[in-house]
A and B are shown apart, each in its own frame.
Chain A
Amino acid sequence: MKILVLVSQTQDTEAKIHVSSSGDSIDTGGMKWIMNPYDEFAVEEAIQTKEKHGGEVVIISIGPDRVLETIRQALAMGADSAVHIKGDGFAETDSFTVGKVIGGEIKKLGEFDIIFTGMKIIDEESGQVGVQVAEELGIPHVSLVSKVIEVDPAGKKAVCQKEIDGGHVTVEVPLPCLITCPDAMNEPRYASLPGIMKAKKKPLTVVEAGDINLGELGLSAEALGKDGARVKTTQMKVPEIERKLTIIKGSDEPMVKGEEVERSAEELIKLLREEAKVI
């Protein structure tokens, strides 16, 4: 099977976030860049599919030089080769264009069976690119798949479980298809030391942004920059919610014990009724 995975690099949002001086973006200076956590699930699912059915896993990523590190991580986890679509302006490119550009490069790779992507990228949180790549390629997608029940390369179909409110659905989809991955669908493996060594020697194709034929994709010449974006971020705020931090503790040790328990329950209820007025 030929299995593709779209892998993006993201700012580590566990860190504290500051607005940049321009006021319309997050300051990325000194920020740690990591593989988008949802894409780790996508890579893991791809490798497991390969382990079951044979074939190859190809990583595709768009971004500046630094994304190479993330591509290497995916190769070290067990992917076989990668395509790096390289350029500096992609941070401001809209998802519609990113979807078209990725779709265009995928078409050049020839036939494939299945594409895995993350459900969304945790910095911008757009949650669009995967599905838009499927549209560009004219293949069906199943989004937010909690479990891939079966991939059947001979029967050319996959069966997936998807969570909906109040339950779940089982969906059958013909191959080739695209699947978007939420968390907890599997346990992403760590890159092993031999894996990391081998990753350096795996085939990597670099596509320069400047060499992409935008006209062929139906895109305008400005499509890759901020001015060509369908949607622009004009302001960025960091919400500061002041919390009261009224914490009831025990007198001898932090935990309330014995008769303190009763009293603390009463005190909390009083606060919720009289101060917060929520019960």
Chain B
Amino acid sequence: MSNEVWVVADLKIDGSVRQVTYEALSEAGQKIAGKLGGKLCGVLIGSGVSGHAASLGKYGAEKVYVIDNDILKDFNTEGFTIALSELIKKHEPAVVIGGNTVFGQDYFPRVAARVGAGVTMDAIDIDLSDQNTLKIQRYSHSSKAIPTQVFHQNYPMMTTVRPNSFKAVENPKDPEVVDGGVEINPADIKTRVIELETKESDRPELTEAERVIAGGRGLGSEENFKHVYELADILGAAAGATRAAVDAGYCPYDMQVGQTGKAVSPNLYVAIAISGSVQHFAGMGSSKVIVAINKDPEAPIFQKCDYGIVGDLFDVLPPFTAKVRSLVSEG
């Protein structure tokens, strides 16, 4: 067993490194690696990923393990599981951290089962316990409770972390790059991606955004969602939605905020024609300032927001957006 603390890079489908990776490196560097007296290491798994080693170094990685294999293109669940499990067995790290994204959620529990590790998901705080084991906090009970969870001395200790929970702080290192040396037998890859459809967006990603403008069923149509996008673009915000809006086909699924969808905690969350269900709040209830525009004074959201206007969105939003626009253009 080594004292190494690993952060597995979470990559976007275009191959770039997701911000949560740098956040995790920074936090693990300060809170865990130092105290444990172990090296902070990055792990790169994917196809054509070796080039990212330097950027992991920028956020404190002293060593970077690389498993670069064509088989791992477009996130392949079995390939990633084999790669990380074998690497863990070979080098026996103390702690392994990843991002709680659709990918992290998919293969971290499986790797943990394979190597016999304890694992927690979606941590919002990571630290060491008095026994020098991993100690995390996360949300449970539809985000109405925050358990503190402590690991047994059963190595490795694994967790995913929620994006936008920690600050990424540069701490430049010139990392030693180590070839992971893990072979992946193509016959072990059983699930195949047969089609991949992605659309580029100019808006910031929901989980990383400082501001989020979200629309609900009350928008009434896909066409009307332009009101949401317009305000979002003026404020440099991400655009979100409720499940009811997604279900109705007003916007794509990746805009869904909530228990099933994305968890966000921006400085500003503007909820337009959103009733404020428990499941929606499970994804945005920790936002710093919540603003609601809703025509129903009895909507639950008015009991759980900071500012609100009781009014028809089609009346209120145009003058509001116009005024925000002129404010922003004034600087």
A-B contact pairs, 8 of them (CB 8 A): A14-B142, A96-B116, A122-B259, A165-B13, A167-B252, A184-B247, A244-B306, A247-B309
| Residue contact A231 to B194, C-beta cutoff 8 Å | no
A201 interface hit (Cβ, 8 Å): no
Of the candidates A19, A132, A172, A237, which one forms a contact with B109 in the assembled complex, judged by CB atoms under 8 Å apart?
A132
Q: Contacts A123-B141, A131-B110; is A165 near B120 (CB within 8 Å)?
A: no
B1 interface hit (Cβ, 8 Å): no
B4 interface hit (Cβ, 8 Å): no
Residues of B within 8 A of A172 (CB): 191-192, 194
Residues of A within 8 A of B139 (CB): 125
Count of chain B residues with a beta carbon within 8 Å of a chain A beta carbon: 94
CA–CA, A269 to B309, complex, Å?
11
B147 to chain A, nearest CB (A): 5
A42 interface hit (Cβ, 8 Å): no
B275 interface hit (Cβ, 8 Å): no
| Residue contact A183 to B113, C-beta cutoff 8 Å | no
CA–CA, A164 to B315, complex, Å?
35
Of the candidates A24, A233, A255, which one forms a contact with B311 in the assembled complex, judged by CB atoms under 8 Å apart?
A255
| Residue contact A261 to B141, C-beta cutoff 8 Å | no
Q: Contacts A237-B146, A268-B307; is A231 near B151 (CB within 8 Å)?
A: yes
Q: Mark B14-49, 1 if CB is under 8 A from A, else 0.
A: 000000000000000000000000000000000000
**Could you tell me which residues of chain B, from 89 to 125, have a CB within 8 Å of some CB in chain A?**
101-103, 105-107, 109-110, 112-114, 116-122
A54 interface hit (Cβ, 8 Å): no
CA–CA, A273 to B103, complex, Å?
38
A201 to chain B, nearest CB (A): 35
Q: Mark B149-178, 1 if CB is under 8 A from A, else 0.
A: 111101000000000000000000000000
A188 interface hit (Cβ, 8 Å): no
Of the candidates A246, A249, A250, which one forms a contact with B306 in the assembled complex, judged by CB atoms under 8 Å apart?
A246
Q: Taking beta carbons and an 8 Å cutoff, which residues of A are in contact with B?
A: 11, 13-14, 17, 19, 24, 26, 38, 94-96, 99, 119, 122-128, 131-132, 134-136, 140-144, 146, 159, 162-174, 177, 182-184, 229-239, 241, 243-250, 254-257, 261-262, 264-266, 268-269, 271-273, 276, 278-279
| Residue contact B254 to A132, C-beta cutoff 8 Å | no
Residues of A within 8 A of B309 (CB): 247-248, 256, 264-265, 268
Residues of A within 8 A of B61 (CB): none
Select the stretch in B51-59, B221-229, B289-297 that faces chain A. B289-297
B56 to chain A, nearest CB (A): 21
Q: Contacts A243-B305, A255-B295, A268-B309; is A279 near B109 (CB within 8 Å)?
A: no
CA–CA, A273 to B268, complex, Å?
11
CA–CA, A241 to B74, complex, Å?
40
| Residue contact B118 to A236, C-beta cutoff 8 Å | no
